[in-house]
Amino acid sequence: MTWAPTLRQLEYLVAVADVGGFGRAARRCAVSQPALSKQVQEVEAGLGLQLFERGPRGATPTLAGADLVERARRILAQARELVDAAAALRDPLAGVVRLGAIPTLAPYVLPALVDAVRRELPALELQLLEEQTSVLGDRLLGGDLDLAIVALPYPRPGLAVRGLYEEPLLLVTPADHPLAGERPLLRSELAGHALLLLRQGHCLRDHVLQACGTQRDTGAAVEASSLGTLLLMVRQGMGAALIPRMALPVDRTGICVRRFAAPEPTRGVGLWWRPSSPRAALFERLGALLREDGIAQGTAQ
């Protein structure tokens, strides 16, 4: 019989590639470093290829290793989908769903979604992860996640996309800011006013730049790591910002909130999953829960 690596060995390869070292990979896989190193060496011997360059600062996939690690990811994802398919056949609305969400959505939609799942789908367990969009896409394709809540549009080949709803972006300013007011704001009025932005890597940053009519990100003098920090900066008089409606605070002391004149800038909210997943019907059901007013619209109106 032709030699072939085990699924566990493929998990070790992926872990080493992900974390860039054998020691960290061993901790991630809950095995000793010698045991993991031996298994990786066995795979290299079986394939007749060196998969990693070892050095004092860690391990880097070789050209062949990078290709085979991506193949290993796909094999592991298919193996997990086999288990998911069996679970779906036993009970389509039961089991574990590994769900990711981006940081500008997670704090606002996940608590309500968890409550709705406990009420409507009591046999379902959600395992949650908060990460940026690109990481969620990688982990979905690698089989580490089943489903992700993301902001759209965000092109990512290889994933199924289900749009759920559009959420308005609103301008938040200090009370004494030149853009403070009550009437609907024209986008042209933003010209000449620097906006506070989230750090690069947050897709909301791109949506804000598009709303301002520019496709080029030239950087910002002041950047925030979260929407909470962005609102704090506005309260402290550091400038104005565009934020999603669901992120508006209940206490608006010291700030002014303005909607835009039609057509309002928006960001889409939707789901990603692998097209090969056998649990698409369940993911659609979760999407329906997310569209409910208490979750999709947030607490701020």
Of residues 268, 285, 299, the one with CA closest to residue 164? 268
Within this chain, domains 89-164+268-296 and 168-266 share the same CATH topology:
yes
- 20-28, Cβ contacts within 8 angstroms, sequence gap of 24 or more: 20/58, 20/59, 20/60, 21/58, 21/59, 22/54, 22/59, 24/58
Cβ–Cβ < 8 Å for 76, 142: yes
Taking 60 as the threshold, does the pLDDT of residue 238 lie above it?
A: yes
> Tokens at residue 232, please?
């704090």
Predicted local distance difference test score (pLDDT) of residue 154? 87
Of residues 108, 103, 98, the one with CA closest to residue 296? 108
Q: How many other CB atoms are there within 10 angstroms of residue 62's CB atom? A: 16
Q: Which CATH superfamily is domain 89-164+268-296 in?
A: Periplasmic binding protein-like II (3.40.190.10)
Could you name the CATH architecture of 7-73? Orthogonal Bundle (1.10)
Q: How confident is the model at residue 206 (pLDDT cuts 50, 70, 90)?
A: confident
56-115: per-residue pLDDT in tens?
888 999 999 999 999 999 899 888 888 877 877 787 788 889 999 999 999 999 999 999
What count of residues does the chain have? 301
Domain ranges of the chain: 7-73, 89-164+268-296, 168-266
Q: What is the DSSP string of 224-270?
A: ESSHHHHHHHHHTTS-BEEEEGGG--S--TTEEEEPBPSSPPEEEEE
Topology (CATH level 3) of domain 168-266: D-Maltodextrin-Binding Protein; domain 2 (3.40.190)
CA atoms of 137 and 100, how far apart (whole Å): 9
Predicted local distance difference test score (pLDDT) of residue 99? 97
Taking 80 as the threshold, does the pLDDT of residue 176 lie above it?
A: yes
Q: What is the mean pLDDT of residues 51-55?
A: 92
C-alpha R_g of the chain: 23
